[in-house]
């Protein structure tokens, strides 16, 4: 606890001032929603506009891209040469990893909620009392994203290799999850491919919550994400090696 608090507070301070995080988790999704919404405005109705659609699908997609951002956070001490000070200080691996996890999680979750709130306000999206459940889902998605990003960030030595490793699956998940345009499951192949995208389930749960007032899938996903993020945090702490940041 003695060393966790200064590490956590420093992490929180750095994340909240990180222009990269703020851009890719607030400004970038806002721009994409505006752009795609504008380009496809005639394909939707007045009650259910393109802006409504893209608000609900782009935010989870951009949240998922946070994996790469968090992986860079895992490497920041190596990049700033401060890792030797941290590793020679009386700090446990658990304090080091937990501080990074919580600081990233809190800031990413806040970014997601802010983006959702702004979009709901700007585009008059009728959330029908589902804002809080959707915000909770995006919060736990931030937890999973942080867990995956930290785990991979410490596991991979080279950031370029990690980026190349992650970019394609994330884009494919976005594609088959309907983040760029609605995907109809016309063929068996498409149906199967959609099943492998976590965004399929996230987007479906959000739409069910907003338009059908059904929270079953959403609640299930919140529980799964919570458990998965705790597992990832535990694994990251257990498998943390000093060489990862030296």
Partner 1 sequence: METILKVTDLKKSYHGKEVVSGISFQVFKKDIIGFIGPNGAGKSTTINLLTALFPPDTGQIYYNQEDIHNNLKSYKRTLGIVPQDLAFYEDLTAYDNVSFFCSLYRYRGKALKYQVKEALEFVGLWDRRGDYPTTFSGGMKRRLNIACAIAHSPELLIMDEPTVGIDPQSRNHILETVNTLNQRGTTIIYISHYMEEIETLCNRILLMDKGTILEDTQKTDYKMKYKSLGTGSLEDIFLKLTGTALRDAND
Of 153, 154, 122, which Cα lies nearest the Cα of 239?
A: 154
From residue 4, alpha-carbon distances to 11, 93, 194, 205 in Å are 10, 10, 41, 36
Element (H, E) at 197: none
Judge whether 147 and 216 are in contact, CB under 8 Å.
Answer: no
Question: Residues with Cβ < 8 Å from 163, sequence gap 6 or more?
Answer: 68
Per-position x/- string for 74-93, each x denoting binding to partner 1 as judged by CB under 8 A, each - no binding: ------xxx-xxxxxxxx--
CA dihedral 51, 53, 54, 58 (to 10 degrees): 150
Q: Contact region for partner 1 (CB under 8 A) — 2-10, 149-157, 197-205, 217-225?
A: 2-10
CA distance 48 to 59: 17
Nearer to partner 1, 84 or 161 (CB): 84
Closest separation in Å from C-beta 87 to partner 1 = 6
Q: Which stretch binds partner 1 (CB under 8 A): 3-11, 21-29, 105-113, 201-209?
A: 3-11
Q: How many CA atoms within 13 Å lie on the side-chain side of 181?
A: 7
CB of 82 vs partner 1, minimal distance in Å: 5
Considering only residues 89 to 118 of the shown chain, the ones binding partner 1 according to CB under 8 A are 89-91
The minimum distance between CB 24 and partner 1, in angstroms, equals 18
Any idea which residue has 């997609």 for tokens? 61
Q: Around 187, how many Cα atoms within 13 Å sit in the side-chain half-sphere?
A: 4
Least distance in Å: CB of 99 to partner 1?
11
Q: How far is the CB of 79 from partner 1 (least distance, A)?
A: 10
Residues 5-64 that bind partner 1 (CB under 8 A): 6-7, 10, 14, 17
With both helix axes pointing from N to C terminus, report the angle between 131-155 and 93-123 in degrees, rounded to the nearest 10. Answer: 140
Question: How far apart (Å, rounded) are the C-alpha atoms in residues 133 and 184?
Answer: 26
CB closer to partner 1 out of 31 and 246? 246
Tell me whether residue 80 or residue 187 sits nearer to partner 1 (CB atom): 80
> What character string, x for contact with partner 1 (CB under 8 A) and - otherwise, covers 203-242?
---------------------------------------x
Contact call for residue 3 and partner 1 (CB under 8 A): yes
Q: Distance between CA atoms of 245 and 240, rounded to whole angstroms?
A: 10
CB nearer partner 1, residue 91 or residue 224: 91
93 or 219: CB nearest partner 1:
93
Phi, psi of 199 (to 5 degrees): -70, -25
Write out the residues near partner 1 by the rule CB under 8 A: 2-3, 6-7, 10, 14, 17, 80-82, 84-91, 242, 246
């Amino acid at each position: 606890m003695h060393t966790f608090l200064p590490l956590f507070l420093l992490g929180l301070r750095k994340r909240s001032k990180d222009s990269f995080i703020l851009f890719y988790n607030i400004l970038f999704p806002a721009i994409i929603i505006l752009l795609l919404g504008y380009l496809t405005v005639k394909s939707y109705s007045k009650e259910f506009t393109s802006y409504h659609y893209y608000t609900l699908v782009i935010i989870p997609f951009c949240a998922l891209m946070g994996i790469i951002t968090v992986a860079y956070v895992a490497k920041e001490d190596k990049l700033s040469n401060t890792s030797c000070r941290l590793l020679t200080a009386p700090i446990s691996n658990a304090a080091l990893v937990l501080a990074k996890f919580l600081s990233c999680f809190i800031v990413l979750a806040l970014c997601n909620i802010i983006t959702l709130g702004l979009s709901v306000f700007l585009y008059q999206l009728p959330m029908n009392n589902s804002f809080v459940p959707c915000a909770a889902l995006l919060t736990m998605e931030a937890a999973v994203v942080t867990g995956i990003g930290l785990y991979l960030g410490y596991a991979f030595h080279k950031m370029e290799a990690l980026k190349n490793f992650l970019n394609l699956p994330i884009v494919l998940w976005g594609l088959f999850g309907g983040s760029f345009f609605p995907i109809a499951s016309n063929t068996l192949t498409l149906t199967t491919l959609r099943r492998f995208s976590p965004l399929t389930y996230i987007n479906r749960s959000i739409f069910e919550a907003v338009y059908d007032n059904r929270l079953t899938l959403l609640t299930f996903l919140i529980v799964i994400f919570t458990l998965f993020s705790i597992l990832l945090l535990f694994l990251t702490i257990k498998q943390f090696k000093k060489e990862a940041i030296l």
